[in-house]
Structure 1
Amino acid sequence: RLAALTEQASDAIVVENIDGVVTSWNRAAERLFGWSAGEAIGCHGSDLLLPPAGQAADEALRARVIAGETPEPVESVGLHRHGRPLALSMAVSTILSPDGRVVGVGRLIRDIHAEKEAALSREQFTHRLEIEVGERTAALELARRDLRTVLDALPSMVGYWDRDMRNRFANHAYARWFGVEPSTMPGKHLRDLLGDSLFEMNRPRAEAALRGEPQTFERAVPRPDGSGYRQSLFHYLPDVIDGEVRGFYVLVHEVTEIHEGRRKLADALREIAILLNTVRVHALFSQIDLQGHVIEINDRYCELSGYEREELLAKGFSLLNSGVHPPEFWAEMWRSLRDGKAWRGQICNRAKDGSLFWLDSIFAPIVGADGRVDRYIGIANDITASKNAAADLANERQRLDNILRGTNVGTWDWNIRTGETRFNERWAEMVGYSLADLAPIGSDFWMRNIHPDDLARSAEALKRHFDGELEQYECEIRMRHRDGHWIWVLDRGRVSSRTPDGQPEWMHGTYQDITERHAAYEALRAATRAAEAASAAKSSFLANMSHEIRTPLNAVIGLTGLLENSRLDAEQSGFVRKIQLASRLLMGLINNVLDLAKIEAGETALDVRPFDLHDLIEGLAAVFGSQAQAKGLDFTVSLPPGLPRRLKGDALRLGQVLTNLLGNAIKFTERGSVALIVQSLGSDDPNQLSVRFAVKDTGIGIDPELHESLFQPFAQADVSTTRRYGGTGLGLSIVKHLTDLMGGRSGVTSQPSQGSEFWITLPLQRVSDEGRGGDSPEVLRLLLLEGSPPRRLGWLEPLAAAFGWRADVVDGVAAATQRLQADAGGDGQPHVMLLAGGEALAPLGWQALLNTVAAIDAQRRPATLRVGGPEDDSRSEEARQFDGLLPGPADAAALFNAVDAAVRRCGGDAAKVIQATRLQGAGVLWLSGVRVLVVDDSDINREVAARVLQREGAIATTAAAAVDALELLARSPGDFDIVLMDVQMPGMDGNEATRRMRTELGLTQIPVIALTAGALLAQRQRALDAGMDDFLSKPLDCDVLIRAVRRHVERARQAPLPVCMRTEGEPGSPQSPWPAILGIDESGLRERFGDDLALYRRVLRRLCDEFADLAAGDSVPDVPADRLSCAARMHKLYGSAGLLGAHVVATAAVAAEHALRADVSGAQRGAQAEPAAALDAVRIALKQLLQAAQAWLAEASDSPVEEPPSGCVDPVDPKALNELSSLLRSQDLAALGRCADLGPAL
């Protein structure tokens, strides 16, 4: 029965056990919350009944109930199954067991939504009612205040008097008029206010109003202060309610001004009549009706027009229409008049005799008695004379302007005494401005912008004109244009007025741009000189070329004849050598001629690409340094410290230009020196750099008069030069043409017997070098401080040169201080090292030198490194004054480590030294002892990376799969300093492996560098997001790889990575000549494989073996999974081929990979032919490569090649390694056997 009552209850009843789990849920609960009993029972009650925000309070309520409290029902917000909020009233009580224990909680829940809505509606209604009452009360009060305010503001008197003639209301004007306070007016009797006399005067009017008769009258009322009368208009208006007069309103308006206005109007009308009569007599007067008909016109109008009055009244102003004004003119006039506005304008009329006369006319509307315009009045003045004068003046101005424009001159006016100047717009245009740009302008602008060389000449001409020696001033001068260049102008003028004492006052003149005339004149002079020299030059060239060509040809012909008629003895061998020499000479001459012909034909194209400027200069220095040395000349190269290494331009053409200049300098210099000087000129464009290259010699020199002709084809200083030194005279012409083609300039400075300086300036583009490990570093400069005896530090110079550093030697503290101060104040970022030598330091005053260093700004302060003997103590007080100590003489590794440590200690960038260091050729191991894990699914890539790392002293362990790498890291995480991780691998890729390494293994400190054949920014970002630290593109650049590994290992260790010397027999020294294989680009291979030809041969053979089946050809797989596997294989081929320089195969492979993946994804659904064509391209390219490669491999098969095991190298067993270490420390010979056992892993 209780269950039945529960089910039939209208309120929801929910029973929960002591843990809050629902054990009973009636039908009303189902309807209220949307959960069926089957769904609710077994669930936590608060989760079903309440939103999360209310569950904490509910739990507190349950706890109170269980604790024995009996709280009142609470109102709360429940939650329907579908998320709808419910307004609830909830009573909670305990449920007891038969023995009185609390075994649960019962909830009686009632939906109070309707009650809430009703209560809310009542509250809202009451609130609205209160608001409306308040608003209406406020509005009523506001209206009352507004009415009172308006009435008080009125100048008229407003009042109300009841039937007893007592005041009930009076505005301020009423009180002011009678001089009483407004507050005293209510209740006052009319007699008390007006006085007996005035009351009796107004009483009949008041009594009539009280009888219901309105009263209106005008009366002059005396002012209360006795100052006169005020004319007023009175209204007494009865207040009648239900037929009964309760009182009357009084309205009094002062009409004194109106009364006075009437009088003044009468006077004005009389004056207007007089004025109108005057106008009719002396001006041109007319009246027209609304249709434009003339209804009145005076005699003056008739006299001027020549028409009779009757003619004009009959036909109107159409008789006077001159046709000068367009229809729009008249339409605008009538539009203004019809809008009720006056119109004024100048009208050209035609008189009866055909002559034109101009009138300054005013037409105004006249308003009739009905308030509407009924006619228009016109008044005009004859302005014919002034119009004719203005026209004459305009014609004269136009004529003068036409003359000025025709002559294209600017004009100027100059007040010589005050300096005031006036110019026209053309004058400003000549110098690139507008007058608005120059305002305000004075004579100082002319002084600032005239060419300094022309100022004295102009001043002299002006003085002669002022003194009367010249009738006018005239001078050709140069003025600076706004953009910086100079223009030639012809400046003319004359004094137009003088002061009473005869001094010049105003001067007027013109400017004429004669720049083109000057240029044409100079061009004509040059053409004349060229024409005069053409014949001699032609004859001289033909003679020279005839001699130059005939000599080797005669040698070829003569010596060939001798060879034919003699035996090949020693003499004949000499003849053969001479033939070879003559042939080479002939080839050089012909090459120059052909180069010039090609340039002049416009067939020379630039090959603009990034290049290493320092390498280019060093190559030229190596070639021409030996040539100069052979002639006994000093040869020097000067490169600025801040000049970037990598720039973008045509390195081949630049090298050709500098080769010509250096070759000429050495050829024409018998003694002294030749120098190549490179300077950075900067640029306004942040992406560009202007560089100046100069070749300076102490040779024979050139007469300045011959400089202009030097860069012309076949030109040399004179015939004797050609006879003495030989040559065609084409070299400098080629220099100029190529420099112009590259967007640069060329020139020469020279004097006979004093040497020459030939220079060019070129705009070269800066290179960001993304993908090459950052921007090219600046040259690291070492400042070697020598004492006495000198050259104690000479052993450092070759070591610095091997690192690509620059070593500058200075003698004495004074010279060193001067050099340091110059570097500190420069614009560049000098990374200067100061090295001071041993016991020579003390007498030089090292403390003063260090004080100079300490005074330099911290960001530009050079590191100081003391070079001493092995006995020097780095812990001494003197040594601690320096950033480091280098015992000397030392090897290259010790030098690098000392310099690197000193720069870091000085506060410099940790990567500064390694970035500025050339890695190849220094004889050091850059990664000594670094433990690297190389993860790559390609056997070829693994072996190459491992060998490159091992060559630099690293301990390389390889893994063929990401899973293998994770196992190695999990087993021995402390065995590796860094991980090189291929990104795209079958199964688990590198990104996923890195994520697991960071999260599952917790290896967050080991650096991971991504390796991939793809270089898209999206791929780079995915690798970084996965937890990798850096990104390197395949094929790997050895230098970039070494720098990256060093950078990240040093960052992880928080300490610099020292280098050590490479021992004899270690890889890294050049081997046999590199092979030339069809389909393989040799550039970069030697560096990439570290001169290891055996490694290259193994990698190439492995590629041939692994991918030979692809060259046989195969169709596109039918199954998508097989197509994806084929795409993965194409990706692997792409990376391996790129590593070997087989770019054609690599390009075809990546295209096939993309086609296969797109086909599987549906991006090219139905385009089966595209993957097939891509695979055919791979097959063709790979077949050609394999044929060429296998031919070379067959030739090299006789040479035994060490084949190291492929695949993953097992890591060293830590226990075995510890045993080996113990044997070595105890000098036990058993270490030899243990070392042999561990050899492959080591």
Structure 2
Amino acid sequence: MQQVVGTAENITHWKLAEEQRRAANRTLAEQNDLFRQVIDTTPHLVYLKDGDGNYLLANQATADLYSLSVEEVVQTNVSQLPISPDDMARYLRADRQVMTSQRELIMEETFTRPNGEVVWFNSIKRPFQLADGTTRVLGVDSNITALKETQQALRQAKEAAEENARAKQDFLANMSHEIRTPMTGILGLAGLLQKTPLDERQSQYLDHIQHSADQLLVIINDILAMAQLGAGKVRLETTNFDLRQVLVASRQLLLPKAAEKGICLELELPPAEVSTLVSGDPYRLRQVLLNLLSNAVKFTDQGQVLLTCRRLSNPQEPLVFEFAVLDSGIGIPAHQLEYVFDSFTQATASTAREYGGSGLGLSISRGLVELMGGSITVESRLHEGSAFRVTLPFAQAQAPLPLSTPLAAPVGYYSLGPRRILLAEDNAVNQVLVNAQLGTWGCQVDIASNGREALQLFHHHRYDAVLMDIQMPGLDGVATARLLREHPDAARAATPIIALTAHALPGEAERYQAAGFDGYVSKPFQEEELFQTLVRLLTPPNTLVAEESAPVYSLAGIRRLAHGNEEFISRLIRVFVETTPPIVQELESALQQQNWPALSATAHHLKSSFAGLHMHPVLDIVRRLESIKPGTDHDLAEINSLVQQVRTVTDQVIAQLRRELPD
């Protein structure tokens, strides 16, 4: 009988473990396969390298970059791959920096293909710790070549646009000069001709010439203003000023045009107790108001135009004022309202034909208002009128303005006395024009046709001032001015130099000032503008009105109306001399009785008389007196000072006017 002895061992747990290992291996294989599919599917370069540049892992995108298989890349050193020496050196430096610093590095890298094509990558490299404790570099590179090409295209487009803008600016500057130079001659010679005896028909022809030239000049200025705004070259000034003065001056400029059309141009100022002393840019505000008022007067054939101003903010809040221009004109169709602020736009084609204009005024106004941090809106009904409202913020004036500007009168109006002036101007018409104007003011004029001639004359003679055209052949005005400032005689080197230029683009005034100019007059200039610039530079500082000095007034407006009719001028002067003193007495009497309505009404009466003689300093005073309202607190000392100034200046003006009258 045989017996079998056997042993049995339970290996279930081994089998289970083996199955688990096989399952784990399958899972790991699946994960590795998934990982490989993921990294091979992504368009980004994914790789693992050591510090010597050996690839330990690479995806398909990395292999494709080198035009190799993944197997060919892995375990291969970068020095054995088709990489330029410069690229390889950069890669190794970056890899070693990551391993040394143990910090992530984000950078842009380039790869140059054998055909010279450059591929851009945004590379993220970070340290990667293996199980054995060694550190490797894990990299993910994103191809940003398309982005770089787009950026390059944008840069080129930007440079082309900037070059185009510069070309446009140069073109506008040249056109400004080419148009303004003959315009200076036309307007200037027309002004000189107006001072000569003319019959009625000749006066009409001359008026048409001046009106047409003025219209052309407005269009030129509008186009240049739009170019400045479009180029972002408009610079705002910040100065203390009184809104009331800007409002009054703006209305004053449009009054003749409104009167010519038979419409009323009214002004509604803030109450006297509301301070209108602000800090901002009075010139740009005035430009906006004049654009709006000019349009309102142009498109209103009957009724009135009203300019108003009111403060919107509380006394404790930042200063915000609303300016409104209301008219009873032709109005704007509802479907056109959203386009009125667009460039070269008018309500209808028939409007453009009937009323003219460039269609730029409102677009310029909107640009300036937005530049000043404000807003502009319009409401209108066809055949009923329009309302334009401008809201602007201002800063508080840093210092109170003086009650009135000291009246400087170094010389009689339109008389500079025996002054010697050097005129550097290459245009023959402008030479005749400026020489004639300066001659009527008592000046001796030496003329140079270019910069070299100006330097020679300046070194041989002493001059009270130099008028310098900017664009002259050879040595231009800027270079000539710099050389004049280098004269060894310090007093002569400090001779006032005034730029005369047809260029009107942004930055020109700053360039002239940096070159040593003391003043700047843009062509075509008004006779009074040139005169006042010379007076300012030839007058000693802090010159006040002397007892026997000529008062500040002008007969220019009356002379324009008279067209050379001296009898008419004398008659108007006599009316002023005879009727004004009693009105001033009424003003003084109203003050003594503290009759504020009478004081305001009398000041209003005086205002029109003073405006006719361009008595601007005292005009500001009577406007302040006119604004005084009953029922409010009044500073009697201040009002008394204002009335006394009216009396003093009026007496001086009348004394001068008596000398103007024939015996």
TM-score (norm: length of structure 2): 0.34
The structure where strand makes up a greater share of residues is 1
Q: RCO (CA 8 Å, sep 6+): is it higher in 1 or 2? A: 2
TM-score (norm: length of structure 1): 0.19
